[in-house]
């Protein structure tokens, strides 16, 4: 998740999603992910307080700054690079499993944030443009909830 001043996704020359202040969320879905994982992650994203308050402290959430979310599916987050120079994506969920979970995440984020979620197109060759604000990038792993 990256805090952005603006971000957009273009597929085949057409903008599929665009936001100003908010979060660019790069979502990787692995075979072991469940609906419970998505619910936990959606709540974390929507409630994350990483926008500056009047004192210059990261203390405001997405709702506090009237922010939006651009959600992009990205299986390459599960690249395994231990052997050789060609990454393996064996842990990434196959589309039959990943697409319903991705769509559930869109719905969950929309419900929790009470806003339309901007998106890319699952599996497409997407061009992402962003102006990272900070930069602030937060990595969250649903398989390591105790660390988050």
The residues annotated with a catalytic role in the active site are 76
For 51, the token pair is: 């926008």
d(CA 119, CA 11): 11
d(CA 11, CA 132): 21
Looking from the CA of 64 toward its CB, the CA atoms found within 13 Å total: 12
d(CA 61, CA 65): 7
């Amino acid at each position: 998740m990256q805090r952005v001043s603006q971000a957009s996704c273009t597929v085949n020359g057409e903008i599929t999603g665009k936001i100003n202040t908010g979060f660019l969320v790069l979502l990787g879905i692995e075979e072991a992910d469940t609906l419970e994982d998505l619910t936990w992650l959606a709540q974390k994203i929507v409630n994350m307080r990483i926008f500056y308050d009047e004192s210059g402290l990261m203390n405001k959430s997405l709702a506090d700054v009237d922010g939006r979310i651009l959600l992009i599916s990205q299986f390459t987050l599960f690249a395994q690079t231990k052997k050789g120079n060609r990454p393996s994506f064996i842990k990434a969920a196959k589309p039959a499993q990943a697409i319903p979970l991705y769509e559930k995440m869109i719905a969950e984020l929309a419900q929790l944030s009470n806003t339309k979620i901007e998106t890319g197109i699952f599996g497409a060759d997407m061009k992402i443009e962003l102006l990272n604000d900070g930069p602030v990038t937060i990595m969250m792993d649903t398989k390591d909830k105790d660390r988050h």
